[in-house]
Amino acid sequence: MAGKTQAGPRYPCIHAFDHLSAMPQRLIRRIAHLDMDAFYASVELLRYPQLKGLPVVIGGGRRSADDALLQAHADVPLSRIPVADFPRLAGYTGRGVITTATYAARQSGVGSAMGLMKAAKLCPEAILLPVDFAEIRRYSRAFKDIILDIAPLMEDRGIDEVYIDFTEVPGGQRDGGRVLARLIQKTIFQQTGLTCSVGVAPNKLLAKMASEFNKPNGISIVFEEDLATMIWPLACRKINGIGPKADEKLQRLGIRTIGELAQKEVDWLIDHFGQKTGAWLFDAAQGRDDRPVVLESEPVSISRETTFERDLHAVHDKAELGAIFTRLCEQVAADLASKGYVGKTVGIKLRFDDFKSVTRDQTLDYFTGDAKTLRQVAGLCLKRVPLTKRLRLLGVRVASLMRLQEASDIELKKPLPPSIHREDASNLIAHSRPLFD
C-alpha cells in the first residue's frame, strides 16, 4: 500500500484506508458471498484426522440414531479410536439421509441428501459418522465472528454461508475485493483450520454464483462487464432461486443457459411465469439484483417436526403418536421461550406413508407460547385432517410471531378455548373417524 497522502479530489464516503492509496477510486458496490468448503465433513475430519482419505458419510437429521452412534464412542478418547471401531454403514437401518460425504465415498456414487440405506448399498465399506450439531454450530459461530471482526456488514445465510458488503470496508475495493477476501479466507483458516470459497461481485446474485467458480479454497472476482463471458454460459439452475421445477419449465421452453434466458423479452417471460417471477427472471439473467445485505431479521415462524422410525397409524399407534405430538409442542414452546417469542398462529404438518403432506393451521385472537395451549390448538387442527393413511411425519409450527417483551397482558390473555371451524365440524361428524388425539 502506498504511504503517501493522496492529493486528488476527496470523496466523502471513501474510507480512511483508501485515502492512503496512490489513486483514489470511486466506490463501486462490492458484495461477497462466502461459503465453507464441505463444512460438515471438514469439521468431522478435524476431529478424526485418521479418517482422511477414507470413504466417510456424515448422516443427518435422525437425532435418535445419531445420538446412539455418538453414545457408542462417548467414553473413548477421540485420538485413540481406531478406524475399525467406527460404526459402519453396513447393517445400519434407519430413515436418515446423508448430509455430506467425503470424496472417497462420492466416488462410489454417494452424495448428499441420499438415503442412508441407499448409500450403504452403493458403498458398503463406508464409515458412517453422526452429525455433531453442537460442534458444527461452534465452528459456524467461530467463522462468522472472524468475519464480523474484519467486515461488520454480514448477512447470515445459514450454518455455512454468509454475504458480506465489502463496499466501504477498508481494502474492500482493492483488486475488486480480492485482497479483503484473501484476508478473511486466511484468517478463518489460521484460526479454525477450515477452508472456504469466496465470490465478490456487484450484487448478491452474482456473488453467490462467483463463489462456486473456484472451489475449494478459491476466490473469484466478477465485475459487471464479465456478465457475458462468466455468467451467460452457465445453466439457469445456477441462479439461486431457480430450482428443479423452474428449470424443467425453462428447458421445456428451450432455455438452458442464463445467456439464452437473457435473450428473452420481459413480456414473454411474464406471460410464461407470471408478473413477479417473470420480471425477476429477466433481471436475474441481466445480472441485476439490488437486494441489500441484511444484517438482522426477525423470525417468521418456529417449528419442530419429526419423521418416525416406522410409519404410524392413528388408531393402532395412538398412544405413541399422542406422546410425540405433545413432545413436539413442548419443544416448540421451549424454542419460543428461549428465543423470546410468542405467536398467534398454530399449525401442524402431516406427511403420509405415500409422502404426501398436508398442513392445517389456526389463528388465535391472542398470542401464546404455552405448551398446553399449543397442544390444544394443534389438536384441533389435527381433527380437521382425515387420518386413514399411515403417518411418517408429524410437525408443529407457530407463526405470526411477536417478541414476548412487546406483548401486552391483553394480547397474552387466554380467552375461551378456540372452537372448531364450522365447515370442519360437519366434516368431522360426517367422517366420525378415530383419532389419536
Partner DNA sequence: TCTGGGGTCCTAGGACCC
Of 161, 212, 265, 320, catalytic? 161
Q: Which of 93, 190, 408, 419 binds DNA (CB under 7 A)?
A: 93
Among the listed ranges 18-26, 49-57, 80-88, 387-395, the one in contact with DNA (CB under 7 A) is 387-395
Q: Number of H helices and number of E strands within the chain?
A: 16, 12
- Looking at beta carbons, which pairs linking 136-139 to residues 24 or more positions away fall under 8 Å? 136/39, 136/40, 136/43, 139/39, 139/43, 139/192, 139/194
Identify the residue among 88, 106, 157, 390 touching DNA (CB under 7 A).
157
Straight-line distance from the first to the last Cα atom of the chain, in angstroms, rounded to the nearest whole number: 70
Grid coordinates representing 320? 405413541
Identify the residue among 44, 165, 361, 437 touching DNA (CB under 7 A): 361
Q: Does 437 engage in binding with DNA (CB under 7 A)?
A: no
Which of 37, 132, 260, 305 binds DNA (CB under 7 A)? It is 305
Report in angstroms how near the CB of residue 99 gets to DNA at its nearest: 6
Tell me, rounded to whole angstroms, the distance of Cα 376 from its chain centroid: 30
Residue 214 near DNA by CB under 7 A: no
Alpha-carbon span 229 to 214, nearest angstrom:
16
In this chain, which of 71, 217, 263, 359 binds DNA, going by CB under 7 A? 359
Distance in angstroms (rounded) separating the CA atoms of residues 337 and 209: 38
To the nearest whole angstrom, how small is the minimum distance from the Cβ of residue 235 to DNA? Answer: 12
Residue among 42, 99, 192, 326 that touches DNA (CB under 7 A): 99
Contact between 357 and DNA by CB under 7 A: the answer reads: yes
Among 16, 134, 355, 417, binds DNA (CB under 7 A): 355
Rounded least distance, CB 330 to DNA, Å: 12
In the complex, the smallest distance separating the C-beta of residue 414 from DNA, rounded to whole angstroms, is: 16
Of 86, 82, 97, which is closest to residue 56 (Cα–Cα)?
Answer: 86
The reply to whether 204 sits near DNA by the rule CB under 7 A is no
Angle formed at CA 380 by CA 313 and CA 428, multiple of 5 degrees: 75
- Near DNA by CB under 7 A: residue from 20, 21, 27, 61: 61
Contacts with DNA by CB under 7 A: the residue count is 61
Is the CB of 173 or the CB of 197 nearer to DNA?
197
Q: What is the DSSP string of 24-87?
A: -------EEEEEETTHHHHHHHHH-GGGTTS-EEEEES-HHHHHHHHHHTTTS-GGG--GGGS-
The CB-of-1 to DNA minimum distance in angstroms stands at 34
Residue 9 neighbours by CB distance under 10 Å: 7
Q: What is each CA distance from 86 to 13, 63, 68, 89, in whole angstroms?
A: 56, 18, 13, 10
Closest distance of CB 418 from DNA, Å: 9
Angle of helix 244-252 relative to helix 266-273, nearest 10 degrees, comes to: 120
Whether 298 is a known active-site residue: answer no
Nearer to DNA, 23 or 134 (CB): 134
Based on CB atoms, which residue is closest to DNA, 185 or 306?
306
Cα distance between residue 399 and residue 177, in whole Å: 39
212 SS3 class: coil
Residue 220 contacts DNA per CB under 7 A: no
Q: Of 189 and 308, which CB lies nearer to DNA in the complex structure?
A: 308
358 binding DNA? (CB under 7 A): yes
Is 121 near DNA (CB under 7 A)?
Answer: yes
Among 49, 193, 274, 292, binds DNA (CB under 7 A): 274
CA 78 to CA 159: how far, in whole Å? 24
Query: What is the C-alpha separation between 322 and 359, in angstroms, rounded?
Result: 18
The yes or no reply on residue 245 touching DNA (CB under 7 A) is: yes
Is residue 417 close enough to count as binding DNA by CB under 7 A?
no
By annotation, the residues acting in catalysis are 161
Binding residues for DNA (CB under 7 A): 60-63, 93, 95-97, 99, 113, 115, 117-118, 120-121, 157-161, 208, 239-247, 274-277, 299-307, 335, 345, 347, 354-355, 357-363, 381, 384, 392-393, 395, 400
